[in-house]
Amino acid sequence: MIRLSLAAVFLTIMMIAGSGCASRNLRPNFVNKGEILRRQWTYSIEPVSSQLVVPGMEYVAPVIHENTLLFGSERFGLISLYPKILQEKWKIQISNGVVSPIEIQNGNAYFTGGDGNVYSVSTDTGKTNWTYSLRNPVSSKPTVVGADLYVVTSDDAILSIEANTGKWQWHYRRRNVSGPTIHGGSRPLVVGDAVWVGFADGALVSLNRKDGKVLWEKQLNSNKRFSNINAELIMNGDLVYVPAYDNALYALNASNGVPVWVKEGLGSSKKVTVANGILYVPTSRGDVYALDAKTGAEIWKFELDVGIASDVVVLEKHVVFASSSEYLYALNRETGALEYRFQIGYGTGFSGGIAYDAARDWLYVLSRGGNLLSFSYQKNAK
């Protein structure tokens, strides 16, 4: 029997895949309309090795906090960086890395690690305040409101934990879903005295913040290949936007959860972004839509060359998002026309979101290859 190493197996797969297909480019004649995103420095999480390794995913988006940039890696841990001088402030190693997006509140960073723990870490010193064991990795971003932290586990439970101490307060558990599910978990949304959260069975549940008792539940996504509701829920005024991965985008009344409008085919595992009455929606089908935030009426649609889009960052004249495969895009904010496209390389891309420093007009994004890339925004580029 011949046994291949993991690296050899991966190389074989890539060679077979590459022999039958090529990078998709829907716009072969496209030319950038100026250097709208000017590439600056690149920071590598780990030294470049000559040994072939399977590319990671790196779902964790960088986070701006005061004069630092925090980001996590599934292959290392958590790093605090001074982006202006490209110098580390501190770095902590975590077994199996950081697997959830980072929430920063009251001078602390909250996240979950690949070791199955929820962490509270001081953003100033990098010292761990407390950990809470969940026993398995959790990719849901924690929500901290007041003295309470809420987090959703990979086995479909939501926990309420004291943010200052890490002490358990209550939990609510759904029945586990058999079959395939999508990476990630719904980030809990606090709506008044309730916590809204989506689950893998397609249910949206409203719970009492004090004791976790069910106030109401609605089945939004059933009889689909992937029934998950695992995107971050976003509230804007009296509407809450809920993407269901394999189905639709729902705009629900914040007071009772009743649908105000529904857009079929605009499901996603990514959150929507609202700016100046416009809703920007990255879908699981590889499109980005701009909709009227109140009515859901379509303003424009953009189809990615390949992959699916990250969360959308809204700038003065453009919207920017990363693709899970190969490209970083900048579109005209009003028309959705492509004006800039950066190719990071065939076979890689961006699995996480983008951090935007409005004070400097700089953007930061972590590639699947483990490189943190920075770009300055040139809004008047020609």
Note the pLDDT tens digit of each residue in 179-214: 545 545 689 999 999 999 999 888 999 999 999 999
Contact 156, 173 (CB under 8 A): yes
What is the model's pLDDT at position 381? Answer: 86
Closest CA to 36 of 360, 377, 374: 377
Note the pLDDT tens digit of each residue in 114-173: 999 999 999 999 999 999 999 877 878 999 999 999 999 888 899 999 999 999 999 999
Stretch 328-332: mean pLDDT: 97
What is the model's pLDDT at position 5? Answer: 32
Residue 133 has a CB neighbour count (10 Å cut-off) of: 10
Report the C-alpha gap between 259 and 238 in whole angstroms. 12
Report the C-alpha gap between 338 and 325 in whole angstroms. 17
Note the pLDDT tens digit of each residue in 267-307: 888 999 999 999 999 998 999 999 999 999 999 999 999 89
Report the C-alpha gap between 119 and 275 in whole angstroms. 31
